[in-house]
Amino acid sequence: MLKQRIITAVILVAVLSGVVLVLPPPAALITLTLIISLGIWEWSQFLTAKSLLWRLLYVVVVLTLIVGLWFYSFQPGALQLVLQISLAWWLVAFVWVTRFPTAIPVGVTVISGILVLGPAWLALSRLLVAENGVGWIVFILLLVWATDIGAFAVGKLFGRIKLIPRVSPGKTWEGAIGGVAVAAIVAFAGAMFFQQDMLSFVSLCLAASAISIVGDLIVSIFKRHAGLKDSGEIFPGHGGMLDRIDSICSAAPVFVLGLSWQGLI
C-alpha cells in the first residue's frame, strides 16, 4: 500500500509539474481548471439532488463563481481578502472535524464545495501568472505530498493514538506529526533553494502542511455523510480526483496567503 501511494504521488507530482513547467500559462490554466472541474463534479455527488442535470448545474455555477474570483482578485487587496476568508474557513473546518458527526444540510454542502475548491483554484492560478510562480507551485505539491506520504508511513509504523477516529479511523497522531516532520525537511530545503528567511518560511510551510491534513479530513466528512468510500474512480485503488487534491485544496490558499504577506507574490 505504501509503495502504491508513493508511486501514485510521484506520478501526480511529475504530471502536474510537467503541466506548469512545459505548457504556456494559458494552457496550464485551462488544465488546472479541468482538474478543479473534476473535483467540483465529484463534490456534486455529496448533494441531496443526484440527478445529472443538477450536478452539471452545480459545476457550472461553481466554475462561474471562481472565474469571477479571478477577475476580482486583481483589485487592490482582493486576493488577500479571499485567501483570508479561506483561512478562516479551514480553521472553522478543523473545529467541525473534531465535533463530527453532525448534521450537514444541503446548503452547507453547496457552500462548502465552493470554499474548498474555489480559493484553491484561485491560489494556484494566480501563482501561474506570478513571477517565479511555477517554482512555488511545484514546491507546494512536494510539500503536501511529503506530508501525506510521511503521515502514512509513520502512522503505519508507529501509529497508536487515533487522530479523529469518527472521521478517519486509519489516521493517528503519530502519523500526523510524522507527516509534518517530513514536510519540515522539504521546508528547510525550500528555504535554502528560494533563499528565504529560514524561520518565517519554514513556519509558513509547517502551517500549510498541518492544514493540508484538515483538507483530507473535511472531504472524508462529506464522503461519510454521503455513504461513499471514495470520491470517484479516476485512479483505480486510489479514489477520485478530489481524493488526490483534497490536501492541496486546503494547503495552497494558506501557502499563497503567506507568500503574499511576505511580499513574495
CA 240/CA 257 separation, integer angstroms: 27
The pLDDT assigned to 233 comes to: 58
- Rounded to whole angstroms, how far apart are CA atoms 219 and 244? 11
Count other C-beta atoms under 10 Å from residue 258's C-beta: 20
pLDDT in tens, the chain (265 residues): 556 656 666 666 677 767 777 778 788 888 899 999 999 999 999 987 678 899 999 999 999 999 999 999 999 999 999 999 999 999 999 999 999 888 899 999 999 999 999 999 999 999 988 877 888 998 999 999 899 989 999 999 999 999 999 998 889 999 999 999 999 999 999 999 999 999 999 999 999 999 999 999 999 999 988 888 766 556 555 567 898 899 999 999 999 999 999 888 7
CA distances from 167 to 30, 210, 211, 233 (A): 34, 17, 16, 21
56 HSE (CA, 13 A, CB side): 3
Query: Can you give the pLDDT at residue 2?
Result: 55
Query: What is the torsional sign of CA 237, 241, 242, 245?
Result: positive
* Residue 189, pLDDT score: 97
CA dihedral 71, 73, 78, 79 (to 10 degrees): 170
Q: Which pLDDT value is given to residue 13? A: 64
Q: Which pLDDT does position 10 carry in this prediction?
A: 66
User: Which pLDDT value is given to residue 263?
Assistant: 84
Report phi then psi at 152, rounded to 5.
Answer: -65, -45
User: For residue 94, what pLDDT is reported?
Assistant: 93
Which pLDDT score is estimated for 145? 87
Residue ranges making up the domain that contains 148: 2-261
Nearest CA among 261, 231, 251, 233 for reference residue 243: 231
Tell me, what DSSP letter sits at residue 239? Answer: B
- CB-CB neighbours of 219 under 10 Å: 27
d(CA 82, CA 13): 26
Give Cβ neighbours of residue 185 (< 8 Å, ≥ 6 apart).
146
- Number of folded domains in the chain? 1
Between the alpha carbon of residue 25 and those of residues 28, 122, 241, the distances in Å are 5, 14, 22
**Nearest 10 degrees: CA dihedral of 225, 231, 232, 235?**
-140
- DSSP type of residue 46: T
Closest CA to 165 of 178, 154, 175, 179: 175
Tell me the whole-structure pTM to 2 decimals.
Answer: 0.91
